[in-house]
Structure 1
Amino acid sequence: MPGIYIHIPFCKSRCDYCAFYSTVSADEVRHSYVQRLCEEIRERKDFFGSPDVSSVYLGGGTPSRLSIEEIRMIFDALCHCFHIMSDAEITMEVNPDDITQEYATALREFPINRISMGVQSFNDKLLCAIHRRHSGMEAVKSYNILRESGFGNISIDLIYALPRQSLPLWENDLDFAVSLHPEHISAYALSFEEGTPLYKKLQKGDIKEPEEELYINMYGMLVEKLKIAGYEHYEISNFSLPGKRARHNSSYWTGEKYLGLGAGAHSFNGVSRRINFQDVIKYIESEDVPCETEILTSANKYDEMVMTRLRTCEGINLEDVKRQFGDEAESFLMRSAKSYMESGKLETVSTPGGMFLKLTENGVFVSDEIISDLMNPD
Structure 2
Amino acid sequence: MSGCYIHIPFCAQKCSYCDFHFSTNHAHKEKMVGALCKEIGIRSENWSSESIETIYFGGGTPSILAAGQIGQLIQQVKSNYLVADSVEITLECNPDDCSLENLKLWKELGVNRLSIGIQSFRDEQLGWMNRSHQSADSLAAVRNAKEVGFDELSLDLMYGLPNMSLEEWKEQLDQIIALNPEHISAYCLTVEQRTALYKLVKDGKLHVSTNEQQSEQFELLVETLKNAGYEQYEISNFARDQHYSRHNTSYWKGSKYVGIGPSAHGYNGTERYWNQANNAFYLKELENDRLPETIEELSRFDRFNETLMIGLRTKWGASKQQLFENISPDKQWFQTVKGYENENLLIQTEEKLILTPAGRLLADAIASDLFLIEN
Q: Would you call these one fold, judging by a TM-score over 0.5?
A: yes
2:24 is matched with which residue? 24
Segments of 4+ moved more than 3 angstroms: 330-333
8 Å CA contact retained: 1:318, 1:330: no
1:363 is matched with which residue? 359
The 1:333–1:255 alpha-carbon spacing in structure 2 relative to 1, beyond 3 Å, is farther
Give, as a single letter, the amino acid of the residue that structure 2 aligns with 1:38.
C
2:317 is matched with which residue? 315
1:338 is matched with which residue? 338
1:97 is matched with which residue? 96
Q: Shift of the alpha carbon at 1:263?
A: 0.7
150-159 vs 360-369, which moves further: 360-369
8 Å CA contact retained: 1:119, 1:158: yes
Gaps of 5+ in 1: none
Gaps of 5+ in 2: none
The answer to whether the aligner puts 1:58 opposite 2:57 as a matched pair is: yes
Q: Shift of the alpha carbon at 1:47?
A: 2.6
Give, as a single letter, the amino acid of the residue that structure 2 aligns with 1:343.
E
The 1:51–1:301 alpha-carbon spacing in structure 2 relative to 1, beyond 3 Å, is closer
Partner secondary structure for residue 137 of structure 1: helix
8 Å CA contact retained: 1:15, 1:130: yes
Matches within 5 A, 1:234-249: 234-249=233-248
2:198 is matched with which residue? 199
Aligned-residue CA RMSD (Å): 1.3
Cα shift readout 1:70-118 (whole Å, capped 9, x = no counterpart): 1121122111111221112110100001111111111111111100000
Give, as a single letter, the amino acid of the residue that structure 2 aligns with 1:270.
G
Q: Distance in 1 between matches of 2:184 and 2:334?
A: 32
1:348 is matched with which residue? 348
Partner secondary structure for residue 329 of structure 1: coil
1:72 is matched with which residue? 71
2:253 is matched with which residue? 254
8 Å CA contact retained: 1:275, 1:292: yes
2:291 aligned residue (289, 292, 302): 289
Q: Shift of the alpha carbon at 1:364?
A: 1.1
Q: Distance in 2 between matches of 1:35 and 1:125?
A: 39
Give, as a single letter, the amino acid of the residue that structure 2 aligns with 1:60.
G
Partner secondary structure for residue 191 of structure 1: coil
Q: Shift of the alpha carbon at 1:339?
A: 1.6
Q: Distance in 1 between matches of 2:186 and 2:33?
A: 30
Q: Distance in 2 between matches of 1:136 and 1:247?
A: 28
Cα shift readout 1:111-155 (whole Å, capped 9, x = no counterpart): 111000000011111111211111111101011111111111000
Q: Distance in 2 between matches of 1:51 and 1:376?
A: 31
Q: Distance in 1 between matches of 2:65 and 2:47?
A: 27
Q: Distance in 1 between matches of 2:331 and 2:273?
A: 31
Q: Distance in 2 between matches of 1:143 and 1:254?
A: 30
Matches within 5 A, 1:75-154: 75-154=74-153
Q: Distance in 2 between matches of 1:331 and 1:72?
A: 54
206-215 vs 226-235, which moves further: 206-215
- Once the two structures are aligned, what percentage of the paired residues are identical? 36
